[in-house]
A and B are shown apart, each in its own frame.
Chain A
């Protein structure tokens, strides 16, 4: 072993490996604590579930150089203002539907998932719903019967009927509305939101 310089020895690299791994992991844990604080529902970046009682838009922020969600005046979903608990329960239900129907093996949410269908991060604000006033109703209709309400834009690629009940469809809409209020650092870029009056 004499001839081997210290930097080529097994023992040196074994210790280095342990040290580097431990250090990286400690830093990751520390960052995780900070990040968790910043993405709890009710934080600045990820708003409380009751945000579905308000108008949500996606507007240019000159300082940050991209669009950010803006929480506007009161504009309850389905015309009914919910308490914080009701809102939380509805959004939770929406998430359970999204997982139970396996939406993410066709769609992306926040850009993660599958690529067979449009990204749903800002589906609530999509201009294809036409006008903000009829959007909620159209979304529920579409989700309950995507075959007969298909758009497909000439692609022929339809969403299948996943047999959502009306309650389930409404919960999904609540979910999509809440999700559109998350600050995603400007993703999707250059999105063209639905006109909502007063903007």
Chain B
């Protein structure tokens, strides 16, 4: 029995119930990410703040690990969310999937507690197994790596078995193949070597081939499904586009890996290969913007879920700006020689991760909130619509503001530290002490608080949206186009 306007698990299918568990943890970790980002940012301004207690490296590690983990939780949740609908079959092995969720969540909790309270260990291999692997983004100790692999295998079994028992669509096929590559790549980050060139060579397989290849394709597939659901675009169109995007993304992103092999000891043919292929990477991102805007325009922005559609559009633009434009700006070796490892890099990192991956996960949080309340109406004119619009605005303005501040700091640092002073210890601090750099760090912090305000509003809205609403969602699709042209003509973006 559907109960509209009330949060009730009986409104959800089995897979969706598991998905909202993943989404809930994701949202909490997103909060942790922001909290520790603010602490790390403050240490740039007040170096004595928490010195020797919760040092910068600990805060930063929790900041970026919380990010990677919440985004992966969001992806797992999104796949559980759409799987049954797409395969037309209930999740196979759902109980096992539930257990895997709890195991994973317990492991994540233990890892974070060890990060915060043990922090580091002696220089032997045991530290890598039990405390901290000390490699950015994949710091999780080896025992947790193995746990993650097991959990992902269970998840993969759920996905594969469900599509096999149900039906294999184009979207399903892309998801299954892509997840295989995504999981396999994780293994490239699970060994120790004293040779830092070899270490970083494989480390980038995980990091780059995740965010610029397999994650991009995964969100491409998720986006394709999202456009079908929120706008009613035809399957043939979204799937054809999806294949084009896969071809362009993998065709540029796989060899684009070379833009990380300019300075780590690797041979200089990577200048040409990395420069050339990574310079092509923005093309699929432009294609995605064109595609989604075209679809949204063609359907007169009429959607069954306004906040979700707005976040999907934010995803298309954010991905293009953060990854495409900001990535392109420093991807050629002639430029990267000076920008490499300066504040330029986090300028791009923040906008790309937020623009490409935070956005689409948030869109799915809204799809979940809608269904959880009995497929409640989320079109134009809902009560409290200011909340989601302001959450979107504050989060976007906050991250864009941080990005601009870091960009200014990055330019200054590239000139003063990298170009003029040759990256010495003294040269580093000359750039850090420069008033422009200092001001930029203040602006980063201020926009960080704006971001945090947006986050709080987002949480509030996800808990409140649709409460007490009695209408059910508008149906989208070709049939409904004329019928609702009047009521639904308002643009979906804030």
Contact = CB atoms under 8 A, between A and B. Distances in A.
B341 A191 contact: no
A182 B254 CA distance: 26
Interface stretch (B148-156, B427-435, B460-468): B427-435
B201 A17 contact: no
A20 B134 contact: no
Given A46-B195, A88-B194, 5 more contacts: A14-B170, A94-B123, A102-B139, A104-B136, A118-B428
Contacts of A127: 424-426
Interface in B26-82: 40, 43-44, 47-48, 51-52, 55-58, 60-61
A147 to B, nearest CB: 8
Contacts of A91: 194
Contacts of B267: 34-35, 38-39, 45
A52 to B, nearest CB: 12
A117 B429 CA distance: 9
A24 B196 contact: no
Shortest 3 CB-CB distances between A and B: which pairs? A99-B134, A97-B123, A105-B57
Contacts of A152: 47, 429
B413 to A, nearest CB: 8
A182 B134 contact: no
A16 B478 CA distance: 30
A93 B124 CA distance: 7
Instruction: Tell which of B122, B134, B198, B199 has the most Cβ of chain A within 10 Å.
Output: B134
Interface stretch (B241-249, B309-317, B351-359, B481-489): B241-249
Contacts of B131: 100
Contact of B265 (A9, A171, A183): A183
A113 interface: yes
Contact of A102 (B61, B251, B254): B61
A27 B128 contact: no
Interface residues of B, number: 88
Instruction: Tell which of A34, A46, A114, A121 has the most Cβ of chain B within 10 Å.
Output: A114
Interface string A101-126: 11111101111111111110111001
Contacts of B243: 10, 13-14, 16-17
Interface in B243-293: 243-244, 246-247, 250-251, 254-255, 257, 260-271, 273
Nearest to A10: B240
B56 A106 contact: yes
B455 to A, nearest CB: 23
23 contacts: A10-B239, A10-B240, A13-B244, A17-B244, A21-B250, A21-B251, A39-B267, A40-B195, A40-B198, A45-B265, A49-B194, A97-B123, A101-B123, A102-B132, A102-B139, A105-B57, A111-B340, A112-B341, A118-B423, A154-B429, A155-B429, A160-B52, A186-B263
B341 A115 contact: yes
Interface of A: 8-10, 13-14, 16-17, 20-21, 24-25, 27-28, 31-32, 34-36, 38-41, 45-46, 49, 88, 91-106, 108-119, 121-123, 126-128, 147, 151-158, 160-162, 168, 171, 179, 182-192
Contacts of B121: 100
Contacts of A101: 120, 123, 134
B338 interface: yes
A9 B247 contact: no
Given A21-B246, A100-B122, A113 B136 contact: yes
A20 B251 contact: yes
B247 A105 contact: no
Nearest to B115: A102
A41 B195 contact: yes
Given A24-B251, A100-B128, A189-B338, A184 B264 contact: yes
Interface stretch (B1-9, B88-96, B342-350, B396-404): B342-350
B90 to A, nearest CB: 27
Given A25-B254, A99-B128, A191-B422, A116 B265 contact: no
Nearest to A93: B123
B51 A104 contact: no
Contact of A189 (B51, B136, B246, B422): B422
A8 B241 CA distance: 9
A17 B338 CA distance: 35
A185 B268 contact: yes
B167 to A, nearest CB: 16
Nearest to B258: A31
B200 interface: yes
A151 B424 CA distance: 13
Contacts of A190: 418-423
Interface in B374-426: 418-426
B197 A46 contact: yes
